[in-house]
Structures are given as C-alpha cells and as structure tokens.
A and B are shown apart, each in its own frame.
Chain A
C-alpha cells in the first residue's frame, strides 16, 4: 500500500466551477499535510498546508483534513484556466523524521 494515494484523473471542470481533489494516506501518525501545484515543465509549488482537522481557507483554495478518515482534500472555487495543472498531495508522517511522501498527482484541466 502506498503511503499517499490520489486519483490520477484527468479531472476536467468548466471555468467558474468548483474543482475537488482528494488524497488518502496510510500512516495515522501523520502530522503535516500539503498541496503542491505543478505546471507542465515546472517544479512543484506549495499552495496550501494544513495541520489540524477541519478546513483552512486561502483565497479561492480550501484544504480540508479529516484525520479519523485519513483523507485530505483541496477545493478550488471559481476555477480558472490558469488553475490547469497537476496537484500533488504530500504528507509528513510521524515516524520517519522529516521525510515527505508525495502522491502521484491529479491532473486538472479547467475548460474555458
């Protein structure tokens, strides 16, 4: 079983819609959770971090964490074509120092 799992997609949403990206993880001791955005040919860029159960909002982005169910999600409201990218979920587990585990990413396309 992989440490972090994501649906690879592709996920397509119309411009202005809400895009919902999901991620599950296996280590219940995980402490920190991150969402990275990666444009084609570029490096991953941090867009959200979340550490406690519940929601965390930053502009059009909302991260949701449910430790009991071991999932973390990212909602993108009012999706724009510029949001088209691959979104990587990363988890820092509780038993491996400061190593991060990355999912394989979900490809999102926002259709104008």
Chain B
C-alpha cells in the first residue's frame, strides 16, 4: 500500500497568494483529516470528512481556508489569500471508520508551507 500521499512536500509562497495542498488517502479508507502543526500550538485538527462529506470544520481558522473532497481518493485544502501566520506543516491523515470505533489514523508525509 502506498500510504497517504500529499503534494507538494514543500511550498514557499508570498503573502496574498493562493495555496492549494493536495491529499490522496489510503485506498478503502472512508475518513480523511486535515491537520496543521506548529511548535506553538502542536497538532490541530482543521477539518475532517466521512464518506467525502465534511463532518466538522470547526478547526478551520478563518474563511481564508477551505477544503473539498470531490471523491474518495482526493482532497484539497486551499488558503486564499495566504498570510505569514499560516506557515506550518499541514498533514493529511486517513482512516477506515469501522463499527466499534477501532479505527486508526495514518498520516501522510506532510506539506511544509512557508508564507513570506
């Protein structure tokens, strides 16, 4: 299994530019999670999808952030316009939400975003 795939691995952009991060979950998984990790705030859940439907986006910091999951094998996280405080590592994770709650999240390699 290829695991969770994220692209790009590194992104450097200037303030005000649009940034799109991409994620391909593990085949067969039905839940997808977007996290942001910084030294100050640790790992924060931004949004998660179940069967391609957004379930909880309360962690999305502001309207500049949006996420979509058009099908079971692809998701995007978009920041428009980007700001320096958005600089962080963004992780995508996926899981298979089985009955009884015994599902496990597997993380992608992350995208390191730097906004100048």
Which residues on B are within 8 Å of A, measured CB to CB? Answer: 31, 33, 42-43, 45, 48, 50, 55-56, 91, 95, 97, 100-110
Q: Across the interface, do A92 and B42 meet the contact criterion of CB distance under 8 Å? A: no
Q: How far is the CA of A45 from the CA of B113 in the complex (A)?
A: 21
Chain B proximity of A45: nearest CB distance (Å): 7
Q: How far is the CA of A103 from the CA of B41 in the complex (A)?
A: 10
Q: How far is the CA of A45 from the CA of B91 in the complex (A)?
A: 12
Chain B proximity of A47: nearest CB distance (Å): 11
Given contacts A44-B91, A92-B101, contact A102 B106 (CB under 8 A): no
Closest to B41 in A: A104
Count A/B pairs, Cβ under 8 Å: 57
| Interface size bracket, A side | 20 to 34
- Chain B residues whose CB sits within 8 angstroms of the CB of A44 once the complex forms: 43, 91, 107
Partner of A98, one of B31, B43, B108: B31
Q: Contact mask A59-100 → B, CB, 8 Å, 1/0? A: 000000000000000000000000000001010101011111
Q: Across the interface, do A98 and B42 meet the contact criterion of CB distance under 8 Å? A: no
Q: How far is the CA of A51 from the CA of B83 in the complex (A)?
A: 41
Given contacts A43-B109, A44-B91, A102-B42, contact A34 B31 (CB under 8 A): no
